[in-house]
Chain A
């Protein structure tokens, strides 16, 4: 732990960004920061931001590890839909809650394992490898739900979506617990260092004796697990599984959260907590647009603007304006020097 101070300093741009967004939210809705305790549970827009942002935060946790290893997982949205479908249908069929949860998580783990094997063993490009499940996953989810929205009333499962613990909504608790646990596992073991190492230079890492293949399989498996967890929460939240819309486009939100959190798409250094912060920033924008009275669809334009902004900032800081002026020559020179 290199001290809270330096951590905060690194997070300064993101925190400032969040503060600005929250400020605008407050302008749009003066009651934004109001919190009240009712029936032992906190209510308020801020809590709402955290609650709504929880599934993307959970996805972003898994996605961070994947992106840090120089990969990407496009299938998390579809895996969410599958996990939710499994949870809902098994609940309706009367299985007990632990069996339902374990089965649902197992589906996510199996999907992640498949992705990991395709990337690490078949050495497919991550985009290509995970595209397969992105396409087929939603179909499988519909197969499980037989094309209808399966609703359930099992209070145990619903608790994961709308229940509360210690005054906070369950999704927030789960996301926070997962984030802390992951940070602990990644930073208290050597996993974090090893993941960053293969993300920066896989060849050198192999020379140094790191089992990069196994590590990559583990990373994608973990990402699948996270997606399943997010899928369970999303299903519990709406008390049903909607194979068509559950997790739709969330893979992109998760990637965006990771990128906002400062992890490079080219792999390497990562921070789980910063990605969670990224997810909160995205949700704050969503909420802000909503309470400003704009239709929620405006989100997409804002997200596009954010991506373009990040690209511009990265391009400017990476290679200066030389790149902007003479791109072709720059590319040639880079290749030539390598």
Chain B
């Protein structure tokens, strides 16, 4: 791993540390495990979905259905648990199966019909949101004792902060994501696809299986994010998590992953998610700023990172042109 490829990631890390330092100087309270625990808990669903999005983007694709799938699973779980009396664990399994199959189907369409991912997942976004609406348009609260039990599970960190179940789950998903990316053949296939699909195919990468697998994984993680969202809000609402796909894409890009594919780190996405959380926390601490600043700052960061990536590509192309002769 060489420096220029990792430059965006280091830039993200530096920005995060600087931003955190600024926050702490202004509000010393922010340097506490309590804030840290909340950061993890509040952004758990975003982070889990962002891991899936990282894989999709590294492979050179995009998944716009993420927010809708989160909304759909949260509604499905709520309905299964409160209307049909199914145990939450069983409901989780059903929801995750459907979400995974949904993602796999999108991957199959993308590969076999050879159409742009953004159009296919756009249809997926409409479909998932529509299905959520079809189930119910009401907000359904979940009052199951299992949820209460799960809420009671947390690890108390020194300093009083709570590492909740869902916060911990996000950390585990990120760790698993790192393992998948760097220690499995599937992971290397994902990078290969994003690097150059034709080369990958010639080198024997199973393109069909990998593409379907990537979107299935993204679907699964979106579903898992939906489960976490359900635990987080103790409710299911078909209009929830609107636009989360944009937040996840932003987190992935800010985390240093190239939107054109081939380069990126799961760990970078973690920092990207936490930066977004940090902005929100800062706004809460400040008290006078409004939440819309999050979107503006994220937009600015997005612009800065895309421009930085573009610059790196142009620079490396200029360097490369000295070596590549015109055929």
Q: Is the CB of B113 within 8 A of A315?
A: yes
Q: Which of B114-136 contact A (CB under 8 A)?
A: 114-116, 118-120, 122-127, 129-131, 133-134
Q: Which of A123, A298, A327 contacts B208 (CB 8 A)?
A: A327
Contact with B along A253-275 (1 / 0, CB 8 A): 00100000000010000000000
Distance from A147 Cβ to chain B, minimum over Cβ atoms (Å): 5
Say which one of A34-42, A208-216, A232-240, A306-314 lies at the interface with B.
A306-314
Complex contacts, A335 vs chain B, CB 8 Å = 198
Contact with A along B284-325 (1 / 0, CB 8 A): 000000111111101110110011001000000000000000
Q: Is the CB of B112 within 8 A of A136?
A: no
Contact with B along A123-160 (1 / 0, CB 8 A): 11101110111111111111100110000000000000
Complex contacts, A98 vs chain B, CB 8 Å = none
- Assuming the contacts A127-B62, A332-B198, asked whether A136 and B126 have C-beta atoms less than 8 A apart, the reply is no
- Assuming the contacts A297-B134, A298-B133, A323-B114, asked whether A132 and B302 have C-beta atoms less than 8 A apart, the reply is yes
Task: Give CA–CA (A243, B291) in the complex, Å.
Answer: 13
Distance from A162 Cβ to chain B, minimum over Cβ atoms (Å): 27
Complex contacts, A304 vs chain B, CB 8 Å = 123-127, 130
Q: Is B19 an interface residue (CB 8 A)?
A: no
Q: Is the CB of B201 within 8 A of A139?
A: no
Contact with A along B236-249 (1 / 0, CB 8 A): 00100010001001
Q: Is B80 an interface residue (CB 8 A)?
A: no
Q: Is the CB of B130 within 8 A of A297?
A: yes
Q: Is the CB of B118 within 8 A of A300?
A: no
Complex contacts, B116 vs chain A, CB 8 Å = 265
Complex contacts, A134 vs chain B, CB 8 Å = 246
Distance from B176 Cβ to chain A, minimum over Cβ atoms (Å): 28
Distance from B118 Cβ to chain A, minimum over Cβ atoms (Å): 6
Q: Which of B114, B120, B292, B298 contacts A143 (CB 8 A)?
A: B292
Q: Which of B62, B115, B201 contacts A311 (CB 8 A)?
A: B115
Task: Give CA–CA (A30, B54) in the complex, Å.
Answer: 51
Q: Is A94 an interface residue (CB 8 A)?
A: no
Instruction: Assign chain B's interface to a size class.
Output: 35 or more
Complex contacts, B299 vs chain A, CB 8 Å = 132-133, 135-137, 139-140
Instruction: Give the interface SS of chain A, mostly helix, strand, loop or mixed.
Output: helix
Complex contacts, B148 vs chain A, CB 8 Å = none
Q: Is the CB of B115 within 8 A of A315?
A: yes
Q: Is B260 an interface residue (CB 8 A)?
A: yes
Complex contacts, B130 vs chain A, CB 8 Å = 297-304
Distance from A253 Cβ to chain B, minimum over Cβ atoms (Å): 10
Q: Is the CB of A139 within 8 A of B134?
A: no
Q: Which of A138, A295, A303, A328 contacts B207 (CB 8 A)?
A: A328
Complex contacts, A16 vs chain B, CB 8 Å = none
Q: Is the CB of B249 within 8 A of A311?
A: no
Q: Which of A290-338 contact B (CB under 8 A)?
A: 295, 297-304, 307-308, 311-312, 314-315, 323-324, 327-328, 330-332, 335
Complex contacts, B133 vs chain A, CB 8 Å = 295, 297-298, 300
Q: Is the CB of B198 within 8 A of A138?
A: no
- Assuming the contacts A143-B296, A295-B137, A311-B113, asked whether A303 and B208 have C-beta atoms less than 8 A apart, the reply is no
Of all chain B residues, the one with the shortest Cβ separation from A302 is B130
In this complex, the member of B207, B296, B298 whose beta carbon has the largest number of chain A beta carbons within 10 angstroms is B296
Q: Is B171 an interface residue (CB 8 A)?
A: no
Q: Is B250 an interface residue (CB 8 A)?
A: yes
Q: Which of B202-225 contact A (CB under 8 A)?
A: 202, 207-208
- Assuming the contacts A136-B296, A332-B198, asked whether A327 and B114 have C-beta atoms less than 8 A apart, the reply is yes
Complex contacts, A298 vs chain B, CB 8 Å = 130, 133-134
Task: Give CA–CA (A52, B259) in the complex, Å.
Answer: 36
Q: Is A190 an interface residue (CB 8 A)?
A: no
Distance from B135 Cβ to chain A, minimum over Cβ atoms (Å): 10
Known: A123-B310, A125-B259, A304-B130. 6 other contacts (CB 8 A): A129-B306, A131-B246, A131-B249, A139-B294, A143-B293, A248-B242
Question: Can you list 13 residue pairs at the A/B interface with Cβ under 8 Å?
Answer: A123-B310, A131-B246, A135-B246, A139-B292, A147-B290, A248-B242, A265-B119, A298-B130, A300-B130, A301-B130, A304-B127, A323-B112, A335-B198
Interface residues of B (CB under 8 A from A): 62, 109, 111-116, 118-120, 122-127, 129-131, 133-134, 137, 197-198, 201-202, 207-208, 238, 242, 246, 249-250, 259-260, 290-296, 298-300, 302-303, 306-307, 310
Q: Give the top 9 A-B pairs by smallest Cβ distance, nearest first.
A: A136-B299, A139-B295, A297-B133, A142-B292, A300-B130, A301-B130, A304-B127, A304-B126, A307-B123
